[in-house]
Chains A and B, each alone.
Chain A
């Protein structure tokens, strides 16, 4: 593409960042897409299916990832973080810190031989972040099979050569000669006209003192919902088999606890919006994996507000016979011999106290927006961690002209809303840039 209307930085390569980058690139802008992780894709890449259609998440996301990578005017900068943003002349100077990967990305062909040969595995390996720590990865690693860019990287914390000066097996086998032991941290300076921040969210800490009675981390069979999603995924740590952490047996009874860290004055007063539907989806998927499994969802209110959501909820109840009980448990206890979990709750619609013994408990964790440090320095973050926008009716434009937000960073929402907001942010950024540099129409 010859015409370049301006340069725009997109921070965060999740579904929102990807969508914004695609839209901007199609309008003719130069886009820098900075991602902290080794691959773009974000949280959506970790999901097995999406609600309410049960479409495979990868089937929607992977083409978009490939598309953004194919755009000639998009520069994906993985393994990097924006550490500072300074307003300069008409636009911004952005300082990006790029972490060393010890593999020359221009040479790496993503064959995975280094991963195969790397001896830093099992006990010498590290928890696999993509699988939420449910499996381990080696020192040489490709983030996940569909990673974009599909390049290997070496974890300097566990690499035998970088820690103990032994091994160098990967170097010996790499067909492209891409191993680069002298790789160092680099700082890049980018000059851009506008910025879209889509750094997403982090989960409420399941070990928060107010949640400690749920025993996450203490009881093996208490899972977070993203961990459970990884178990459901065929690419996941168990190859898509539902297996308990404690004895690797199939669960017979699963309990979902909703509003964990949401609508709770001690943690997050607000509703995290995604968890009702996510749990219903996971419950249906678990039923599809194990038709015999008995599932109870302990909810506060089922907030099924989107297109097809209410129908999805009703399908879960009627077709899949998932039990919905309105009640909030405060404590989980464990049977030390079977590692089963005992949950007491009040069935608040019946006014009775009930007790379930479950093999597995899934905590539907609330979320908190995850703004990058530079936003905090620019005063764009409220004391409660949410980002500031100029107007309640404009959830995209921040008080700093030229900086826009999209996706979960701007508040809890689902994938379609994130995508819609990303396109809107791209539009806002476009009009901001074009306003200050009037387009010359050449006839």
Chain B
């Protein structure tokens, strides 16, 4: 593996000098690794994983579980495998000790999100419920205050949403938030790259670029790995939310000047149809997710961390207030329109600000990039 020029002793020293963090397992347990202490290292999860062979016979997921148990934080942070795991639950099914290896992988993904984030906010929110609530209230409050200060006149004779919320202000605020969040997320992705790949040294650059074009968009838009999961419906629901979310993002960020206006909401124009479609996708997707998490019938939904609930509840509420705004606007009820819009803004702000770079939402970026970074490591190895 190591280059032949390396002095054997230093290679050896490099291999063995890892910092051990005895509290790592506690942290991972708090993040949802419900059964990790029951594991007796039998390796059944490894041979049941449909993915371990694809990984060049690496003992996955037991290797990652072992990192956690031994407290090898650096090794764990450098691991991309948890992101390549598509949560099919075969390992948990075959585990003779109910150690739930699939849940450990989920918890490790949560842990990695906290590690990629340079601000430390993510860690705070993942490890404490209070941190989450506090952050939502503060951000919602800020959004409410700014909105209150910058809002336009309230017209009660007929519904004039644009007069109430001037499009210039909403659009500027939206783009500003978008740029800030995207930058933070990019920094986090770069940190993921540093931890897992290190540098581009030894990787042919043109090839690296071609792989970037080939891998990231494909997996971003299709979530193909999820399709290999035994529980196919999960992939469909996931796609519904993804495309519902994507569509409303296009409608209400780049196209906001067209969608936020005083014109009554009409069912015939393409923008309204797109809006209705996006909300239908989101509301059905989010409802099915909530139902699944309450019923706990499959692996993916059996154990829910508080961050999972925060994500799906906020998404659901944001969608509902969005739908209400549209409905009241069409029915020409001025005051209810303004109130539901204000609520929508108060909810959507913490939802985006917290979820995009710091929490569950960020897997939208980490999943496709992990596949790419994994490929980069392979390229360096000459595969």
Question: Closest B-chain residue to A354, C-beta based?
Answer: B57
Contacting pair B43 A328 (CB below 8 A) = yes
Q: Which residues of A contact B44 (CB under 8 A)?
A: 328-330
| Set of chain B residues within 8 Å of A345, measured between Cβ atoms | 43, 47
CB distance from A206 to the nearest CB of B (A): 15
Find the B residue at minimum CB distance from A268.
B96
Which B residues are in CB contact (< 8 Å) with A353? 46-47, 52-53, 57-59
Q: Does A288 contact B (CB under 8 A)?
A: no
- Across-interface contacts of A348 in B (CB, < 8 A): 41-43, 59, 62
Is B42 touching A352 in the complex (CB atoms < 8 A)?
Answer: no
CB of A266 within 8 Å of the partner chain:
yes
**Which partner residue on chain A sits nearest B63 by CB separation?**
A351
Q: Which residue of A lies closest to B95 (CB)?
A: A265
With a cutoff of 8 Å between Cβ atoms, the chain B residues found around residue A300 in the complex are: 40, 42
B128 within 8 A of A: no
With a cutoff of 8 Å between Cβ atoms, the chain B residues found around residue A249 in the complex are none
- Whether B47 and A331, one on each chain, are in contact in the complex, defined by CB atoms closer than 8 angstroms, is yes
A266 and B96 within 8 A (CB) = yes
Residues on B facing A (Cβ under 8 Å): 40-44, 46-48, 52-53, 57-59, 62-63, 66, 94, 96-98
Q: Which residue of B lies closest to A347 (CB)?
A: B43
**A327 at interface, CB cutoff 8 A:** yes
A: contact size bracket: 20 to 34
- B-facing residues in A217-270 (Cβ within 8 Å): 259, 263-266
Contact assessment for A346 and B96 in the assembled complex, using a CB-CB cutoff below 8 Å:
no
User: Considering only CB atoms, which chain A residue lies closest to B38 in the complex?
Assistant: A265
- The 8 Å CB contact of B96, one of A326, A328, A352, is A328
The contact string, 1 if C-beta is below 8 Å from chain B, for chain A 171-187, is 00000000000000000
Q: Which of chain A's residues have a CB closer than 8 A to the CB of B96?
A: 259, 263-266, 328
A330:B94 contact, CB within 8 angstroms: yes
A residues lining the B interface (CB < 8 Å): 213, 259, 263-266, 300, 326-331, 344-348, 351-353
Q: Which residues of A contact B97 (CB under 8 A)?
A: 263-265
Find out whether the CB atom of A329 lies under 8 angstroms from the CB atom of B47.
yes
Q: CB-nearest residue of chain A relative to B58?
A: A353
Task: Enumerate chain A residues within 8 angstroms of B52, measured Cβ to Cβ.
Answer: 353
Query: Contacts A264-B96, A353-B57 hold; do A344 and B40 have CB atoms under 8 A apart?
Result: no
CA distance A326 to B59 in the complex (A): 14
Interchain CB contact under 8 A, B43 and A265: no
B84 to A: closest C-beta gap in Å: 16
Across the A-B interface, the 10 shortest Cβ-Cβ residue pairs? A346-B43, A264-B96, A328-B42, A346-B46, A353-B57, A348-B43, A328-B44, A330-B94, A330-B48, A327-B43
- Contact between chains at B59 and A331 (CB < 8 Å): no
Q: Which of B40, B42, B48, B58 is within 8 Å of A331, CB to CB?
A: B48
A17 to B59, CA, bound (A): 48
Most buried by B among A259, A327, A330: A330
For A326, list chain B residues within 8 Å (CB).
43
| B43 CB contacts on chain A under 8 angstroms | 326-328, 345-348
Chain B residues, Cβ within 8 Å of A264:
96-97
Q: Is the CB of A352 within 8 A of B47?
A: no
B78 to nearest A CB, angstroms?
16
Q: Please, how many angstroms separate the alpha-carbon atoms of A307 and B77 in the complex?
A: 48
Chain B residues near A331: list those with CB within 8 A. 47-48
Task: A265-B96, A328-B47 given; name 15 further pairs at CB < 8 Å.
Answer: A264-B96, A265-B97, A265-B98, A327-B43, A328-B43, A328-B96, A330-B47, A330-B94, A344-B47, A346-B46, A346-B59, A348-B43, A348-B59, A351-B59, A352-B59
For A259, give the chain B residue with the smallest CB separation: B96
A-B contact pairs, 6 of them (CB 8 A): A263-B96, A265-B98, A300-B42, A330-B48, A344-B47, A346-B43
Tell me how far the C-beta of B263 lies from the nearest C-beta in chain A, rounded to whole angstroms: 62
Query: Are A327 and B42 in contact (CB-based, < 8 A)?
Result: yes
User: For the complex, what is the distance from the CA of A352 to the CA of B55, rounded to whole Å?
Assistant: 12
For B63, B94, B97, the residue with the greatest tally of chain A CB atoms inside 10 Å of its CB is B94
Q: B129 to nearest A CB, angstroms? A: 30
- Cβ distance A440 to chain B, nearest Cβ, rounded Å: 58
Residues A346 and B40 in contact, CB atoms below 8 Å apart = no
Tell me how far the C-beta of A370 lies from the nearest C-beta in chain B, rounded to whole angstroms.
23
Across-interface contacts of A328 in B (CB, < 8 A): 42-44, 47, 96
Nearest chain A residue, comparing its CB with the CB of B91: A330
Give Cα distance in the complex from A93 to B202, angstroms. 86
Most buried by B among A345, A347, A351: A351
Interchain CA distance A351-B57 in the complex, whole Å: 10
Which of chain A's residues have a CB closer than 8 A to the CB of B66?
Answer: 351
Q: Considering the chains assembled together, what is the distance between the CA atoms of A330 and B49 in angstroms? A: 10
Q: Which residues of A contact B53 (CB under 8 A)?
A: 353
Q: Give A349 Cβ to nearest chain B Cβ, in Å.
A: 9
Q: How far is the CA of A348 from the CA of B47 in the complex (A)?
A: 11
A266: B residues at CB distance < 8 A:
96
Residues of chain A lying within 8 A (CB to CB) of residue B94: 213, 330
Which residues from B are CB-within-8-Å of A329? 44, 47
In the bound complex, CA of A348 to CA of B58 (Å): 11
B41 → chain A closest CB, angstroms? 5
The minimal Cβ–Cβ distance linking A377 to chain B, given in whole angstroms, is 32
Most buried by B among A263, A265, A326: A265
Nearest-CB distance from B240 to chain A (Å)? 33
Give the CA-CA distance A263 to B40 in the complex, in Å: 10
Contacts of B58 in A (CB 8 A): 353
Smallest CB–CB gap between A239 and chain B, Å? Answer: 37
Q: How far is the CA of A345 from the CA of B53 in the complex (A)?
A: 11
Residues of chain A within 8 A of B40, CB atoms compared: 263, 300
Most interface-central of B47, B94, B97 (chain A CB within 10 A) = B47
CA distance A352 to B66 in the complex (A): 13
Chain A residue contacts of B57, Cβ below 8 A: 352-353
Contacts of A213 in B (CB 8 A): 94
Q: How far is the CB of B72 from chain A (nearest CB, A)?
A: 13
Q: How far is the CB of B43 from the nearest CB of chain A, in Å?
A: 3
Complex CA distance for A378 and B357, rounded to whole angstroms: 64
| Closest partner residue, chain A, to B96 (CB atom) | A264
**CA–CA, A170 and B121, complex, Å:** 89
Q: How far is the CB of B261 from chain A (nearest CB, A)?
A: 60
C-alpha gap A124/B66 in the complex (Å): 57
What separation, in Å, do the CA atoms of A33 and B62 have in the docked complex? 52
Closest chain B residue to A266 by CB distance? B96
A346 to B53, CA, bound (A): 11
Closest Cβ of chain B: how far from A180's Cβ, in Å?
Answer: 51
* A345 nearest in chain B by CB position: B47
Q: Please indicate the chain A residues that have their CB under 8 angstroms from the CB of B62 in the complex.
A: 346, 348, 351
Interchain CA distance A328-B66 in the complex, whole Å: 16
B42 proximity list for chain A (CB < 8 A):
300, 327-328, 348
Interchain CB contact under 8 A, A346 and B47? yes
Docked CA distance A257–B98 (Å): 20
CB nearest neighbor in B for A329? B47
For A265, list chain B residues within 8 Å (CB).
96-98
Which residue of A has the minimal Cβ distance to B43? A346
CB contacts (< 8 Å) of A351 on chain B: these are 59, 62-63, 66
> How far is B41's CA from A348's CA once the two chains are assembled, in angstroms?
7
Min C-beta distance of B305 to chain A, whole Å: 23
Distance A213 CA – B96 CA, assembled complex (angstroms): 14
Residues of B near A327 (CB, < 8 A) are 42-43, 47
In the assembled complex, the CB of A117 is this many whole angstroms from the nearest CB of chain B, namely 51
